[in-house]
Chain A
Amino acid sequence: MTGERGVSAVESAEDEHALVGAYALNAVAGAERSEFERHLAGCPLCTADVPAFREVIAGLARSTATTPPDTLVDETVARARSVPQERARRRRLWSMPRRRAREG
């Protein structure tokens, strides 16, 4: 493994791929996130990494499991009754829900 310092010129050449870990961890925000998603759409390397990284992350997440409030399930199920579902459609990549306003 390389040292913890001393990256720059070499790294900037592959800067676009470099964000793939941060992206899988939801550590990329705002415009940078959308920008990376555009890169992702055309990058087979990153497209393969994202789901694999998310499996790893899901493994780490298990340690957080906590008894939820009693109301959580019932309230959620009741709220879902008034939420329409999206119909299946062709999609790209590993789609994640977006904020409702962005749905087109």
Chain B
Amino acid sequence: MQHSEKASTRGRSPEELLRQTARGDASAFEALTRYFAPLVFGVALRVCEDRSLAEEVAQEAFLDIWRTAARYERDRGSAHAWIVTITHRRAVDQVRSERAHARRELHAKALLPMVDFDQVAEAVDEAGDRERLRTCLGVLSRLQRESIHLAFFDGLTHTQISVKLQVPLGTAKARLREGLGNLKSCMGVGEKAGGRA
């Protein structure tokens, strides 16, 4: 990935950039924004399905990050996870308020084909990580996989997921939790850092 001279990360980790941003360092914030722009815009676009809406959501997410960078705690997880969560929450809040005005949207969206989970693994840079993610996605049950998919990529609530998959509400909740739990243990998340209270 290429970055412009003036906003290069200069070898700084995203966590370091976030820490500098928290201290009001505008050039660190610019470098952080440039580094995460494809991911933040991509998440927003996947959920919103509209480029101009996605750009607005991405800008708002980055401004949230600028405003609240001091709340980020390294020992609670990676900068990636923090930023994805902020972006995704912005995006789902956006589409939920839109859908409240136009219920048809939800139905149209529900007919979209599922993203192939192979593409999800494909996008991971490092070959070892990619293989592992592919293997781990493979151990999920169909309901676990579909529930996670609908929640993350389509921004549905657990209530909407239970309707869409025609399962009881408790089942939808349980499959989301088990699916993430399976991925977590399969991928060894929380064993190196973070994940502890």
Residues of A within 8 A of B (CB): 1, 4-5, 7-8, 11-12, 15, 17-22, 24-29, 44, 47-49, 51-69, 71-73, 75-77, 79-81, 83-89, 91, 94-97
Contacts and interface: CB of A to CB of B under 8 A. Distances in A.
Main secondary structure of the interface of B (DSSP, over half): helix
A63 B123 contact: yes
B119 A61 contact: no
B30 interface: yes
A17 B174 CA distance: 10
B129 to A, nearest CB: 8
A20 B179 CA distance: 11
Nearest to B144: A1
Contacts of B45: 64, 66
B194 interface: yes
B157 A21 contact: no
B8 interface: no
Interface of B: 7, 22, 24, 26, 29-30, 33-34, 37-43, 45-46, 51, 55, 58-59, 62-64, 66-71, 73, 76-78, 80-82, 84-86, 88-89, 92, 96, 115, 119-125, 129, 133, 141, 143, 148, 151-153, 155-158, 161, 167-168, 170-181, 183-184, 187, 189-190, 194-197
B55 A20 contact: no
16 contacts: A4-B167, A4-B171, A18-B170, A18-B174, A18-B177, A25-B152, A56-B189, A61-B84, A61-B88, A69-B41, A72-B55, A73-B34, A80-B26, A85-B68, A91-B73, A96-B85
Given A61-B39, A65-B39, A55 B81 contact: yes
A48 B196 contact: yes
Contact of A25 (B69, B143, B180): B180
Nearest to B186: A56
A80 B33 CA distance: 11
Given A19-B173, A61-B84, 16 more contacts: A19-B177, A26-B89, A27-B176, A48-B190, A51-B81, A55-B81, A55-B195, A57-B81, A57-B85, A61-B39, A63-B115, A68-B55, A75-B59, A77-B29, A80-B62, A80-B63
A6 to B, nearest CB: 9
Contacts of B187: 56, 59
Given A59-B133, A61-B39, A94-B76, A87 B59 contact: no
A53 B189 CA distance: 8
Contacts of A21: 173, 175-181
Given A56-B189, A64-B42, A48 B197 contact: yes
Contacts of B80: 55, 58
A88 B22 contact: yes
A26 B184 contact: no
